[in-house]
């Protein structure tokens, strides 16, 4: 179960900003829902200029989440979260504003530890791995969903453990839990292995970054 990391975080440091016209590398990230079995995963390539706030939206669209719950990035030993007036759902006295940091500026921390928490406290924890840094030849302008596997769970399932329990219940089609999973997905023929890559790619491609 993912737990929101609370407390007093360090004061914001000045973000690392490249020279105005300096081309930035892009980053290939592998994202997997922690404890999912089989692994629910996506592979994305994102521009280095992407803010962490924008990266949240790319992850949301690639996974199939609705972006209606609070979220948090843990990169290295630092928490990056929505600004108080932006996302507004995470209440801590001091934190790093995800709008002020780009993927490029936190790349060093990614190689140490990188987690993405969604609906934290209930919730859905994602392990993110930096797989490759791609030099700008040319510079990537928009995010791309490269690959993925397994359908995104319904958010109302609670967490990955409860979702697995509901999947197990599908072995007894007329059980209460099996019916609940159908209700949560809105699909009487829900298949957890059915991931529509092309549809997910279109969602990511529709983003302006």
For the chain, 209 residues long, give each residue's pLDDT as a single digit of tens: 555 444 434 444 445 555 667 899 999 999 999 999 999 999 999 999 999 999 999 999 999 999 999 999 999 889 999 985 444 444 443 479 999 999 999 999 998 889 999 986 678 999 999 999 999 999 999 999 999 999 999 888 889 998 998 888 777 777 777 777 778 877 777 889 999 999 999 999 999 99
Tokens linked to 59: 């992850």
Question: Which CATH topology does 26-151+196-205 take?
Answer: 3.10.290
In this prediction, residue 112 carries a pLDDT of 84
Domain with CATH 3.10.290.30 in the chain: 26-151+196-205
Q: How far apart are CA 57 and CA 3, in angstroms?
A: 20
User: Model-level pTM?
Assistant: 0.84
Q: How far apart are CA 97 and CA 73, in angstroms?
A: 10
In this prediction, residue 16 carries a pLDDT of 52
In this prediction, residue 87 carries a pLDDT of 43
């Amino acid at each position: 179960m993912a737990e929101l990391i609370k407390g007093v975080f360090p004061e914001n440091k000045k973000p690392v900003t490249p020279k105005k016209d300096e081309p930035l590398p892009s980053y290939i990230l592998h994202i997997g829902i922690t404890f999912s079995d089989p692994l629910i995963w996506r592979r994305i390539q994102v521009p280095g200029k992407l803010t962490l706030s924008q990266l949240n939206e790319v992850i949301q669209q690639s996974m199939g989440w609705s972006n209606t719950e609070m979220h948090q990035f843990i990169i290295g030993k630092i928490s990056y979260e929505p600004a108080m007036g932006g996302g507004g759902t995470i209440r801590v006295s001091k934190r790093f504003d995800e709008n002020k940091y780009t993927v490029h500026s936190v790349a060093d921390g990614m190689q140490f530890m990188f987690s993405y928490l969604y609906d934290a406290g209930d919730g859905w924890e994602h392990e993110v791995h930096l797989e490759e840094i791609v030099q700008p030849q040319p510079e990537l302008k928009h995010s791309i969903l490269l690959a993925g596997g397994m359908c995104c769970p319904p958010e109302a399932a609670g967490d990955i453990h409860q979702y697995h329990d509901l999947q197990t219940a599908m072995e007894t089609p007329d059980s209460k839990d099996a019916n609940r999973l159908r209700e949560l997905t809105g699909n009487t023929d829900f298949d957890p292995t059915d991931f529509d890559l092309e549809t997910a790619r279109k969602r990511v491609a529709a983003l302006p970054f």
